[in-house]
Amino acid sequence: MNVTCQTPSGPVTVASGVGQQNVAIPIPSSGSITCTVTGYSYGKSASTTVTLTSSQAGQTMTQTLKIPVSGYYIPGVGFVPVSTLILLAVVIIIVVILIVILLIEYSNWRRRRLAGLLGPPK
């Protein structure tokens, strides 16, 4: 998450980090300051703009960003995007197919070996 405020000298990054953040922004005695809160997760981003005036000095404002990422919350794991779940399913299917192929080949090898050991009587 980034918090950037527009000052007369240009944009200034006030805070940057991960998760919930508490940011104190100095408000000018006259006029206002405009700040943009931007969040990014799993290839998606969201932002909101807040204009603070001198009448709001000393007050607490809460801004919540909702990032439009599709996925599921799994207890003990956290948020898992759908793309990760699809990738995991594909990998599991490929591993199962490889195990089945290896078991079939092992069975054929054992059958040939056993036939070679027993072989026709001499």
* Residue-level pLDDT at 100: 98
Is residue 20's pLDDT more than 80? no
Report the C-alpha gap between 19 and 29 in whole angstroms: 31
More confident position, 90 or 14: 90
Prediction pTM value: 0.53
Band (pLDDT 50/70/90 cuts) for residue 97 is very high
Cβ–Cβ under 8 Å, residues 81 and 75? no
Which residue do the tokens 């799994």 mark?
Answer: 74
> Computed from CA positions of residues 86, 90, 95, 96, in that sequence, does the dihedral angle turn out positive or negative?
positive
Mean pLDDT across the chain, nearest whole number?
Answer: 84
Q: What is the mean pLDDT of residues 102-121?
A: 87
What confidence score (pLDDT) does residue 91 get?
98
Distance (Å, whole) CA 106 – CA 33: 72
Top-confidence residue, 102 or 44: 102
What is the per-residue pLDDT across 37-75, written as a single tens digit (0 to 9) for each?
888 877 778 888 888 888 887 777 788 888 777 788 888
Residue ranges in the chain assigned as alpha helix (H): 82-118
Tokens 């991960």 belong to 18
Cβ within 8 Å of residue 55, ≥6 positions away: none
Residue 93 has pLDDT above 80, yes or no: yes
